[in-house]
Structure 1
Amino acid sequence: MSRRKQQYEYQQIIRSLSDRLVEAQMPIRVLDAVKWDDEVRQRFFAADCRQLPPVDRGYYESRPLSFDPVAKKQEFQSIERDITRQLGQFSPVGQIMRRMCKEYRMVIRMLEARGTPDFGLISEELYGAASDAFHAGDPTLADFGLMLSDYLNQIADRGDLKDEPKTLNASAAVQKLQERLNRVFGEHESTVRVFESDGIVADAAAGADYIKIRSDALFNERDVRALEVHEGLVHVATTLNGQNQPICTFLAKGPPSSTVTQEGLAILMEVIAFASYPSRLRKLTNRTRAIHMAEQGANFLDIFEFFRDQGLSDEDSYTNVSRVFRGSCPDGMPFTKDLSYLRGFILIYNYIQLAVRKGKLEQIPLLFCGKTTLEDMRTLRQLVDQGLVVPPKYLPEQFRDLNALSAWMCFSNFLNHLSMERIEADYANIL
């Protein structure tokens, strides 16, 4: 058999296993499985916001999963066995796919445990906990959230940093966002659609090739810019790049480990594209603080008051607290997915900083080649060299031309060695 034919058959084996993995995960919709219906909200407000929402194990049992969890776990187990049989124990691409199989089985176990303490424990395994440290002796994610809150408090009363009025309704926001994305993805390709939706909790949500805007939400120009960067340039772009993979099709879909990378990359993009702003950052820090409170034993009512104290309306407070306890009970352990934003930002920032320091700039754009996970980045570089993974088609300008990003990281690498305490003391008389 010729070498070219052997290579072709090897690629077809990978493609077949990858396609099976993509198909197997299709019915698993974590957020749909853990969300609370509107009746829970109505009953909470009917009780004048003084009683815990009526959510327990029985509530989730009345809302069965859209798939057979036992059969689905067996399916992933079978795929994992076939990956080893057909690719071998030490195949780099096989190692990625086997890890994904294990992770999806863990996701299923978490969903089976809705309304029990095990749900929160598995959530911590998948998404981390607010009390996790990045390295021994370093601040935790909860410490990072508190530190950012302190910084934001210092500038909270500045009139020139107040948010612009939200004068754009959903229809106007859809039009403006569609125009922006057409310039990025191509107006005539109809690659990405933006439309209104009644069925989402957040102001916006990204799908494979679309972005949904909540029909009753209001926006300003800054919000639209943030949605372009966060949802469009990262979430949609990485999905399309994953779908563009001819062999490793699994890159079009991502387990929770890729969620951390995705959200971290999205927040970093907001920062370097100057699309972020204090009130948006406050939203992320408050979510982190709320999860930490729940980890420490606070219940739904305690955290509802926390958000009220932050100046949120009762409706917005309820929405934010329900994010913390969805999948769990109102006095149980939290669903920690929302830690992905700040946790992912730190991990991605450190990765890019280290890549610049070591002169491995070619690895940075590969973050966009699909739903990637940081621990797979070295392997992805190998797969690109082998022709098994293609570089990303859709890449933000900041990552297409790495000149400015590299210069920033070079300065950052030096500035990280300076003592902020000494700087503060030295500048005390001039600031």
Structure 2
Amino acid sequence: MNSNAALNDYQGLVRALSDRIVEAQTPIRILDAVKWDDSVRQGFFAARGIQPPAVDRAYYESRPLGFDPSAKKQEFQAIERDVTRQLGQFSPVGQIMRRMCKEYRMVIRMLEARGTADFGLISQDLYGAATDAFHAGDPTLSDLGLMLSDYLNNIDLRGDLQDEPKNLDAKQAVQLLQARLDRVFGEGEGAIRVFESDGIVADAAAGADYIKIRSDALFNERDVRALEVHEGLVHVGTTLNGLNQPICTFLSKGPPSSTVTQEGLAILMEVIAFASYPTRLRKLTNRTRAIHMAEDGADFLEVYRFFREQGYREDESYSNASRVFRGSLPSGLPFTKDLSYLKGFIMVYNYIQLAVRKGKLEQIPLLFCGKTTLEDMRTLRQLVDEGLVVPPRYLPPQFQDLNALSAWMCFSNFLNHLSLDRVEADYANIL
């Protein structure tokens, strides 16, 4: 990363303010703050799964955040005030930084509200709700989840698209994924590290320069390919691109609004790299449906039973249901972060389609220049032109080749104008 000494006065000012945001957000760990520890799971199964998990407001109060919420909110308020004072009200880069400060303050308020009704309400403000429409008159996220479930059920009826056996343990998955990522990011010092971990809920989780694999999880080669694309090429790649920013260092860290873009990019990459598969997609749709159930008043036990009915094992059903209610209460509003996958996919896909339609292909790779947010994309293009943001160093192959991507999107734009119901009726005699 370039040093401040190489920057002019204005660039140095932006860099200093940006670094303050990065420093201020360092102790904020949303998922660590909301997750339930293993004693909750053990208690749930000790009661034979017929009583809600023993989580209340006092449970969260016994798990401090690791920082002073009031002082941290004041810190972000001071940064926001200095951004305006030093860069002006209408500075494009200043507008991004002020929005990030506001968003981090909202995150802190959400974490302060763990175990209360406000937690779920603030979560909806940050990540959205299942009943949100993409545009006026369009289907909602919950509609999308049900629609995809119907398609997946039709596929399941075939019986010949079974998943490959999960015959790779965590150690084998680590070795295979490490080899794949070494080919992309290089080996030796500065390479991406892949290692086992006991402390995560998901099968895998990405950090700044590493990917953790849950030590008791099982995988097949298709799973590893999906992890390479999702966690490696997108999550780690965009982090490294953000860390490579000499001035706008805030792009190395992402508030919740960037989570939607990040997860949308990751799912889109899985699709266009042919790394996704029906079971993976069903996991995403079931999460969306479960969040919608909780928004409609379903409690933990009802959501747990929903996952059992979908064919998940008891431990998987508990893990999935706890994702919905973490940070909240077993009968409270859900934590809606898991809507980011499908919501982000639709929003990013639409953005790329429109960029192709309008001939603004140069906008597309900028999605990878760090932890970006869709609403900032026009501003980021301006910041690249001004020399405040550098283009991404690491780009997935599918986004390096804008010829192929734009050709696909041109066809996609046309196909969107066809009525699939009408096509289905016309094709009835040949399908």
TM-score, normalised with respect to structure 2: 0.98
Give matches, 1:412-431, under 5 Å: 412-431=412-431
Match of 1:170 in 2: 170
CA separation in 2, counterparts of 1:216 and 1:313?
15
Match of 2:345 in 1: 345
Match of 1:195 in 2: 195
CA separation in 2, counterparts of 1:377 and 1:193?
30
User: SS of the residue aligned with 1:54?
Assistant: coil
1:89 maps to a residue whose letter is Q
| Offset at residue 7 of structure 1 (A) | 7.5
| Offset at residue 187 of structure 1 (A) | 1.8
1:261 aligns with 2:261: yes
User: SS of the residue aligned with 2:156?
Assistant: coil
| Offset at residue 157 of structure 1 (A) | 3.0
| Offset at residue 158 of structure 1 (A) | 2.6
User: SS of the residue aligned with 1:161?
Assistant: coil
Write the deviation string for residues 231-254 of structure 1: whole angstroms up to 9, x where unpaired.
000000000000000000000000
Write the deviation string for residues 39-89 of structure 1: whole angstroms up to 9, x where unpaired.
111111011100011111111111111100000000000000000010000
Write the deviation string for residues 288-336 of structure 1: whole angstroms up to 9, x where unpaired.
0000000000000001110000000000000000000000000000000
Match of 1:123 in 2: 123
Match of 2:387 in 1: 387
CA separation in 1, counterparts of 2:6 and 2:397?
38
Alignment CA distance shift 1:311-1:6 (3 Å): closer
Write the deviation string for residues 21-48 of structure 1: whole angstroms up to 9, x where unpaired.
0000000000000000111111110111
CA separation in 2, counterparts of 1:265 and 1:190?
24
Write the deviation string for residues 90-141 of structure 1: whole angstroms up to 9, x where unpaired.
0000000000000000000000000000000000000000000111111000
Match of 1:107 in 2: 107
CA separation in 1, counterparts of 2:34 and 2:354?
37
Match of 2:334 in 1: 334
Write the deviation string for residues 326-349 of structure 1: whole angstroms up to 9, x where unpaired.
000000000000000000000000
User: SS of the residue aligned with 2:418?
Assistant: coil
| Offset at residue 6 of structure 1 (A) | 12
User: SS of the residue aligned with 1:158?
Assistant: coil
| Offset at residue 268 of structure 1 (A) | 0.1
| Offset at residue 403 of structure 1 (A) | 1.1
Match of 2:225 in 1: 225
CA separation in 2, counterparts of 1:257 and 1:185?
27
**Stretches (4+) displaced over 3 A:** none
| Offset at residue 160 of structure 1 (A) | 2.6
2:329 maps to a residue whose letter is C
Match of 2:244 in 1: 244
Write the deviation string for residues 355-381 of structure 1: whole angstroms up to 9, x where unpaired.
000000000000000000000000000
Alignment CA distance shift 1:6-1:271 (3 Å): closer
User: SS of the residue aligned with 1:330?
Assistant: coil
Match of 1:68 in 2: 68
Match of 1:295 in 2: 295
Match of 2:235 in 1: 235
Give aligned-pair identity as a percent: 82
Match of 1:42 in 2: 42
1:303 maps to a residue whose letter is V
CA separation in 2, counterparts of 1:327 and 1:246?
36
1:231 maps to a residue whose letter is E
TM-score, normalised with respect to structure 1: 0.98
CA separation in 2, counterparts of 1:335 and 1:292?
11
Alignment CA distance shift 1:189-1:403 (3 Å): farther
Note the aligned Cα RMSD (angstroms).
1.1
| Offset at residue 189 of structure 1 (A) | 4.3
CA separation in 2, counterparts of 1:341 and 1:67?
29
CA separation in 1, counterparts of 2:63 and 2:172?
36
Match of 2:31 in 1: 31
User: SS of the residue aligned with 2:8?
Assistant: helix
Match of 2:136 in 1: 136
CA separation in 1, counterparts of 2:6 and 2:390?
20
User: SS of the residue aligned with 1:178?
Assistant: helix
Instruction: Name whichever of 150-159 and 345-354 sits farther off.
Output: 150-159
Unaligned runs of at least 5 residues, structure 1: none
User: SS of the residue aligned with 1:377?
Assistant: helix
| Offset at residue 159 of structure 1 (A) | 3.2
CA separation in 2, counterparts of 1:17 and 1:273?
38
CA separation in 2, counterparts of 1:15 and 1:90?
18
CA separation in 2, counterparts of 1:219 and 1:413?
36
Match of 1:311 in 2: 311
